[in-house]
């Protein structure tokens, strides 16, 4: 006969072993949408990334670190209103994902920030981003580079209607906007 405590231990062990072999984008408790990364033009060295994080556990977790091999440095950013001017800065303490909760990182709000880009990020490029959680979970997810107009506002849908973004494709207003915010957020 196996005691309850032993049963729980065996179960936990199985869960932990299982998580090492989980599909990209999720383990048993944390589920991630594919990351959407904003396309850049030559000369841009920073870009934003967006993702939806779902916590199916009854214990809160916290996104504490992000990394990607296409960026020298990656941070978790938040937007704040500084006397009417939206700025962004690194979010101290990361982002809590409530138990049975969902947090969407999206344009204009919480986002992943990739700095020191080693290459121009062209729409359609397939990359990978690794997210680390306070619980010790380390999850690598596919990331697709998208034109600003193609990035889903709620981050939940991988594909958006076609046609909406084509006005922006050559000009990259949003990208310029974003790097401007980067200066105001971190500069002087
Ligand atoms: Cu940022």
Give the separation between CA 163 and CA 154, rounded to whole angstroms: 18
**Which parts of 20-142 fold into alpha helices (H)?**
none
Ligand 1 center to residue 172 CA distance, Å? 17
Strand partners, 37: 49, 145
For 14-58, the pLDDT digits (tens) are 444 444 333 445 566 999 999 999 999 999 999 999 999 999 999
Answer whether residue 132 is part of any domain: yes
Ligand 1 center to residue 125 CA distance, Å? 20
Band of residue 118 on the pLDDT scale cut at 50, 70, 90: confident
Ligand 1 center to residue 48 CA distance, Å? 6
CATH of the domain at 66: 2.60.40.1890
- Identify which of 63, 56, 49, 20 has the alpha carbon closest to the alpha carbon of residue 129: 49
The dihedral formed by the CA atoms of 140, 144, 147 and 151, expressed in degrees to the nearest 10: -60
Ligand 1 center to residue 4 CA distance, Å? 47
Answer whether residue 16 is part of any domain: no
Answer whether residue 8 is part of any domain: no
Ligand 1 center to residue 64 CA distance, Å? 15
Give the separation between CA 40 and CA 117, rounded to whole angstroms: 10
Answer whether residue 10 is part of any domain: no
Answer whether residue 7 is part of any domain: no
For 78-96, the pLDDT digits (tens) are 999 999 999 999 999 999 9
Answer whether residue 166 is part of any domain: yes
User: Domain total for the chain?
Assistant: 1
pLDDT of the residue at 41: 96
Ligand 1 center to residue 121 CA distance, Å? 16
Domain containing 139 equals 23-186
Answer whether residue 152 is part of any domain: yes
Answer whether residue 18 is part of any domain: no
pLDDT of the residue at 48: 97
Ligand 1 center to residue 36 CA distance, Å? 14
**Range 86-112 average pLDDT:** 96
CA angle (158 as vertex; 152, 161 as ends), nearest 5? 65
For 133-143, the pLDDT digits (tens) are 999 999 999 99
Mean pLDDT of the chain, nearest integer: 78
């Amino acid at each position: 006969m196996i005691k309850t405590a032993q049963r729980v231990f065996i179960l936990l062990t199985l869960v932990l072993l299982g998580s090492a072999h989980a599909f990209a984008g999720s383990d048993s408790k944390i589920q991630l949408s594919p990351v959407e990364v904003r396309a850049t033009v030559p000369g841009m060295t920073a870009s934003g990334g967006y993702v939806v994080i779902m916590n199916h556990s009854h214990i809160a977790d916290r996104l504490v670190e992000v990394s990607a091999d296409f960026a020298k440095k990656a941070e978790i950013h938040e937007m704040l209103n500084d006397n009417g001017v939206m700025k962004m800065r690194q979010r101290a303490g990361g982002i809590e994902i409530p138990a049975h909760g969902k947090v969407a990182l999206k344009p204009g709000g919480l986002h992943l920030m990739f700095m020191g880009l080693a290459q121009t990020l062209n729409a359609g490029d397939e990359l990978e981003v690794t997210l680390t959680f306070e619980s010790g979970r380390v999850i690598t997810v596919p990331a697709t580079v998208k034109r600003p107009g193609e990035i889903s506002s709620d981050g939940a849908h991988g594909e958006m209607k076609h046609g909406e973004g084509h006005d922006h494709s050559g000009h990259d207003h949003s990208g310029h906007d974003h790097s401007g915010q980067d200066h105001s957020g971190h500069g002087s």
